[in-house]
């Protein structure tokens, strides 16, 4: 039997390649390039020292190297290495000397050490001895009156559930997994309570500290400047905090860390009973436990969280489901309902439940939803009157199962000709709601509401990341494109029931289609094409400014803006401080930056369905008798003061208005008003914390700004000198440094004013330094030449030694 063995040389090669793979793929984005080079040098030195530490191993290691340098039959390999190695080292040298734009490393303590005590609710709490008083009360009852104890426990959890779903789930999510519908706009992401490495490892006093003091209560190692965690003792009372803590542990079926073994045993026993009961839950019980908080106990879309959500949770009592593939006016297929429950609806509070519910459990929820209907949608067409209760619920289980699917045959291939035709049809039929550019700017001026009387807005077709269910799951290849186009076609054909989005094909042979089958395919292709100019959020955290030789633009339409790369960030509502915003309309802001020696300018772009200027034409969007107040649209950019941040180590102000030790400067632009007449204005504001009033700068206001709203998009220019001499400590925007920057937007037509607005967390601005081309290109060239010549000399030396011992001759 052959004893196969890897030689010492190839062992070394494998170790070095494996180390490179680990450093390159296992650690990003935490591994800076300079650190990776250092680690690779250490690895190579370590491997060399190991193999040279023993003569036999060192000889075995050197043998193939020396053979390559000397042997005549390895001439081709020798020349290949003489070319490849210098080029590789030259490339490494280039990467080492070229300007590095890697963002500063931000290492965060996930569970920082808590303080010994905290001061909230006008009293001091010793965190080392603090216990959940509600839990202790329940445990006391458990010994004397178990039935009452369980009722008290259930009521505490129910109350905590309401607190959570009215305040917390926007970030931490329906399933407490840190995936709320605003979560993607935060960095770091909200805590995943389902992870056994989070609250299961913590005492309840730790959670009490984190909840009551929020992000500002974190030590520096916890990066308080990026935390979106509100200071909840300002909005919740002490009992509500303990109720929500009890709810968190109950929902994820975990036990807090406790030092008293007897108490821990009792709590664990309660948890085991709860886990056992939930494993046996019926479909109706699953609905009440997982779904009722939004959709309501009776399915009317009126759960405790409903009023804080846009769009509102679905009302199951009317049998109207927005998204379906069933043909014509038929109710949705069971496959439609299953897909929505399993995968959720993008851009809404409806999550995908596949991570906590099995397919069998999801299928079991479908008849529960149908039983909540009181509109006779799901009952057999020949059902007798006695099969319904007084409210109209069908009492039997033989619900209708829809099998007819909207046909999608005859798909027209995506092409410029089809897109052109689709645009013509779109402008004739869709423009009045979706706008000339597809941004949902409602050019008809109508007030749109759904079948329940709630105001609704047309979909922004240029932002596919907000599409509820139409976007294909797979990716951006041609197959996914065609699947998405088929989904768009289906939406056009069957409409979105319960909303102003109509069906564009007839449901009877006597009627004509409002848009022909062929034209619906053309429109679907055109709608897909609208994404081509969109910049999806989340692709970068850095705004890279572009230097221009001449003056900076004075207009948002200036072609110079095309030089600057566009970066899009998610806008999330301010849910940190009162007054909070829960139902934003604008969800993303795109930013570009240009600069020269004297000034810096930013172009902000936000898709906004209305130009909100009090007294302006947008007032027609409000029906008679609507008491909502119109406010002006506005934008802001925030920077830290000169001494308010550092990048090594990273330290920034709190991202909403900083703090007294880390003040910020805010560039603010407001669209003004027609009635009363107020011109658009640009002002500089000084901020020193969310609890302190913003200070309008009386002098030194050198901010220049202008805005333009057109076809559902605001474009706002803000420009200012890079240096200042007014003693304000504003940034001078040095080149080659990463500068924290954040943004805010007010949608006046959505009632946004003051603290009610959308905003971003901190991102980075970088003005690239001038490149030293002599160094950037000279160092790699020099490395290549020196290495190549050294290789030639090494080969000659080795071959001369070889000839002197063998009297042979040969070329390099």
First to last CA, the chain: 40
Instruction: Spell out the CATH class of 542-766.
Output: mainly beta
Residue 625: pLDDT band with limits 50, 70, 90: very low
**pLDDT for 769-778, tens place per residue?**
877 788 888 8
Lowest-confidence range among 140-154, 258-272, 349-363, 618-632? 618-632
Lowest-confidence range among 184-198, 425-439, 796-810? 796-810
Q: Does residue 797 register a pLDDT over 90?
A: no
Contacts of 132 (CB under 8 A, 6+ apart): 204, 208, 242, 245, 246, 256
Nearest to 591 by CA among 510, 523, 537: 537
Contact 577, 656 (CB under 8 A): yes
Residue 30: pLDDT band with limits 50, 70, 90: low
Q: Does residue 582 register a pLDDT over 50?
A: yes
Residue 799: the pLDDT is 82
Contact 637, 667 (CB under 8 A): yes
Q: Does residue 428 register a pLDDT over 80?
A: yes
Other C-beta atoms lying within 10 Å of the C-beta of residue 685 = 18
Q: What is the mean pLDDT of the chain?
A: 91
Beta strands in 356-440 (DSSP E): none
Residue 65: the pLDDT is 85
Q: Does residue 622 register a pLDDT over 80?
A: no
**pLDDT for 278-337, tens place per residue?**
999 999 999 999 999 999 999 999 999 999 999 999 999 999 999 999 998 899 999 999
Residue 155: the pLDDT is 97
Contacts of 788 (CB under 8 A, 6+ apart): 82, 83, 86
Burial of 167 (0-12, 13-18, 19+ CB in 10 A): buried
Overall average pLDDT of the 463-484 stretch: 84
Q: Beta strand 599-607 with 713-721: parallel, antiparallel or unpaired?
A: antiparallel
**Maximal C-alpha separation, the chain:** 111
Nearest to 530 by CA among 672, 630, 414, 654: 414
Contacts of 73 (CB under 8 A, 6+ apart): none
- Which range has highest mean pLDDT (26-35, 122-131, 613-622, 772-781)? 122-131
Q: Let me know the angle formed at the C-alpha of 178 by 176 and 181, rounded to the nearest 5 degrees.
A: 100
Nearest to 209 by CA among 278, 122, 289, 118: 118
Please name the fold of domain 117-279: Cytochrome Bc1 Complex; Chain D, domain 2 (1.10.760)
Residue 372: the pLDDT is 97
Contact 118, 127 (CB under 8 A): yes
Residue 812: the pLDDT is 57
| Dihedral, 740, 700, 688, 640 alpha carbons, nearest 10 | 10
Separation between Cα atoms, residue 263 and residue 153, nearest integer Å: 15
- Give 279-295 as a DSSP string: HT--HHHHIIIIIHHHH
Q: Is 235 in a helix, a strand, or coil?
A: coil
Residue 371: the pLDDT is 97
Residue 618: the pLDDT is 60
Higher pLDDT, 758 or 447: 758
Residue 624: the pLDDT is 47
Residue 782: the pLDDT is 92
Measured N-to-C along each axis, helices 146-167 and 133-144 cross at an angle, to the nearest 10 degrees, of 160
Q: Is 678 in a helix, a strand, or coil?
A: strand
Q: Which CATH superfamily is domain 283-387 in?
A: Cytochrome c-like domain (1.10.760.10)
Residue 32: the pLDDT is 66
Overall average pLDDT of the 696-709 stretch: 91
Q: Any idea which residue has 């309309």 for tokens? A: 585
Q: Does residue 623 register a pLDDT over 80?
A: no
**pLDDT for 193-248, tens place per residue?**
999 999 999 999 999 999 999 999 999 888 888 899 999 999 999 999 999 999 99
Nearest to 226 by CA among 733, 660, 651: 651
Separation between Cα atoms, residue 636 and residue 699, nearest integer Å: 19
Residue 628: pLDDT band with limits 50, 70, 90: low
**pLDDT for 122-163, tens place per residue?**
999 999 999 999 999 999 999 899 999 999 999 999 999 999
Residue 627: pLDDT band with limits 50, 70, 90: low
**Domains 117-279 and 416-533 agree in fold:** yes
**pLDDT for 44-84, tens place per residue?**
999 889 988 888 888 888 888 888 888 888 888 889 988 99
Other C-beta atoms lying within 10 Å of the C-beta of residue 811 = 7
Instruction: For 771-804, give one letter per residue: b (16+ CB within 10 A) or e.
Output: eeeeeeeebbeebbeebbeebeeebeebbeebee
Residue 442: the pLDDT is 85
Separation between Cα atoms, residue 665 and residue 401, nearest integer Å: 60
Question: Dihedral of CA 801/802/805/807: which sign?
Answer: negative
Q: Beta strand 588-595 with 546-547: parallel, antiparallel or unpaired?
A: parallel
Residue 4: the pLDDT is 67
Tokens of 810: 């040969």
Separation between Cα atoms, residue 248 and residue 244, nearest integer Å: 6
For the segment(s) 416-533, the CATH number from 3.40.605.10, 1.10.3720.10, 1.10.760.10, 1.10.645.10 is: 1.10.760.10
DSSP character at residue 745 = E
Question: What is the percent of the chain where pLDDT is above 90?
Answer: 69
**pLDDT for 364-398, tens place per residue?**
999 999 999 999 999 999 999 999 999 999 999 99
* Domain parsing of the chain, residue ranges: 8-105+784-806, 117-279, 283-387, 416-533, 542-766
Q: Is 554 in a helix, a strand, or coil?
A: coil
Residue 109: pLDDT band with limits 50, 70, 90: confident
Higher pLDDT, 639 or 811: 639
Q: Does residue 1 register a pLDDT over 80?
A: no
Q: Any idea which residue has 């943004």 for tokens? A: 743
Contact 95, 40 (CB under 8 A): no
Q: Does residue 343 register a pLDDT over 50?
A: yes
Side-chain half-sphere exposure of 180, counting CA atoms within 13 A: 27
Tokens of 450: 């759904």
- Dihedrals φ, ψ of 415, to 5°? -160, 160
């Amino acid at each position: 039997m052959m004893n196969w063995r890897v030689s010492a040389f190839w062992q070394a090669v494998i170790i070095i390649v494996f180390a490179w793979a680990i450093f390159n793929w296992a650690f990003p984005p935490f591994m800076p390039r300079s650190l990776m080079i250092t680690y690779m040098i250490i690895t190579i030195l370590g491997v060399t020292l190991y193999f040279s530490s023993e003569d036999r191993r060192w000889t075995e290691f050197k043998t193939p190297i020396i053979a390559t340098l000397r042997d005549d039959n390895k001439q081709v390999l020798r020349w290949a290495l003489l070319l490849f190695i210098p080029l590789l080292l030259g490339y490494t040298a280039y990467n080492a000397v070229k300007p590095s734009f890697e963002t500063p490393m931000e290492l965060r303590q996930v569970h920082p050490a808590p303080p010994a005590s905290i001061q909230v609710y006008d009293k001091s709490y010793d965190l080392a001895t603090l216990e959940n008083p509600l839990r202790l009360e329940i445990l006391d009852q458990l010994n004397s009156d178990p039935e009452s104890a369980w009722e008290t426990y259930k009521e505490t959890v129910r109350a905590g559930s309401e607190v959570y779903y009215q305040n917390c789930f926007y970030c931490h999510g329906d399933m407490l997994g840190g995936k709320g519908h605003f979560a993607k706009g935060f960095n770091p992401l909200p805590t995943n309570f389902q992870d056994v490495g989070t609250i299961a490892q913590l005492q309840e006093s730790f959670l009490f500290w984190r909840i009551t003091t929020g992000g500002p209560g974190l030590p520096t190692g916890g990066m308080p400047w990026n935390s979106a965690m509100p200071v909840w003792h300002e909005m919740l009372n002490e009992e509500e905090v303990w109720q929500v803590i009890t709810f968190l542990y109950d929902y994820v079926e975990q036990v807090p860390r406790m030092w008293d073994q007897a108490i821990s045993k009792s709590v664990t026993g309660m948890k085991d009973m709860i886990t056992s009961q939930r494993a046996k839950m019926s479909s109706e019980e699953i609905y009440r436990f997982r779904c009722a908080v939004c959709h309501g106990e009776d399915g009317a879309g009126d759960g405790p969280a409903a009023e804080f959500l846009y769009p509102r949770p679905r009302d199951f009592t009317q049998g109207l489901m927005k998204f379906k593939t069933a043909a014509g006016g038929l109710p949705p297929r069971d496959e439609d309902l299953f897909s929505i429950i399993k995968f959720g609806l993008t851009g809404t509070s409806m999550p995908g439940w596949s991570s906590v519910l099995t397919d069998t459990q999801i299928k079991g929820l479908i008849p529960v939803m149908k039983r909540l209907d009181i509109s006779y949608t799901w009952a057999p067409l020949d059902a007798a009157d006695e099969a319904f209760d007084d409210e109209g619920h069908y009492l039997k289980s033989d619900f209708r199962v829809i099998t007819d699917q909207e046909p999608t045959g005859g798909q027209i291939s995506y092409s410029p000709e089809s897109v052109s035709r689709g645009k013509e049809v779109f402008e004739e039929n869709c423009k009045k709601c979706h706008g000339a550019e597809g941004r949902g700017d409602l050019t008809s001026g109508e007030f749109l509401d759904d079948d329940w009387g709630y105001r609704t807005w047309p979909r922004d077709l240029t932002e596919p990341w907000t599409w509820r269910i139409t976007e294909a799951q797979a990716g951006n290849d041609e197959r996914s494109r065609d699947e998405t186009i088929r989904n768009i076609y289906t939406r056009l054909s069957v409409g979105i029931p319960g909303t102003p989005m109509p069906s564009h094909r007839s449901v009877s042979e006597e009627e004509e289609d409002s848009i022909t089958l062929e034209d619906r395919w053309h429109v679907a292709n055109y709608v897909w094409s609208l994404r081509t100019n969109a910049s999806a959020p989340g692709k970068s955290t850095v705004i890279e400014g572009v230097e221009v030789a001449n003056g900076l633009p004075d207009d948002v339409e200036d072609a110079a803006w095309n030089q600057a790369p566009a970066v899009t960030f998610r806008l999330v509502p301010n849910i940190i401080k009162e007054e909070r915003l829960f139902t934003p309309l604008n969800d993303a802001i795109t930013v570009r930056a240009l600069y020269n020696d004297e000034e810096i300018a930013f172009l902000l772009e936000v898709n906004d369905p209305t130009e909100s200027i009090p007294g302006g034409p947008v007032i027609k969007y409000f029906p008679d008798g609507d008491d909502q107040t119109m406010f002006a649209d506005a934008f802001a950019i925030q920077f830290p003061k000169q001494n308010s941040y550092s990048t090594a180590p990273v330290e920034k102000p709190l991202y909403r208005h900083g703090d007294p030790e880390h003040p910020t400067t805010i560039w603010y632009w407001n669209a003004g008003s027609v009635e009363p007449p107020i011109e658009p204005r640009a002002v500089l504001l000084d901020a020193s914390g969310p609890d302190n009033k913003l200070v309008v700068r009386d002098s030194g206001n050198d901010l220049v700004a202008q805005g333009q709203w057109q076809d559902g998009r605001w474009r706002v220019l803000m420009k200012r000198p890079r240096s200042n001499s007014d003693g304000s400590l504003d940034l001078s925007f040095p080149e080659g440094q990463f500068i924290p920057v954040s943004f805010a937007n007010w949608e006046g037509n959505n009632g946004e004013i003051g603290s009610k607005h959308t905003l971003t967390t901190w991102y980075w601005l970088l003005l690239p330094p001038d490149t030293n081309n002599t160094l950037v290109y000279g160092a790699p060239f020099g490395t290549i030449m020196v290495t190549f010549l050294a290789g030639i000399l090494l080969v000659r030396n080795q071959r001369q030694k070889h000839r002197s011992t063998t009297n042979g001759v040969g070329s390099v």
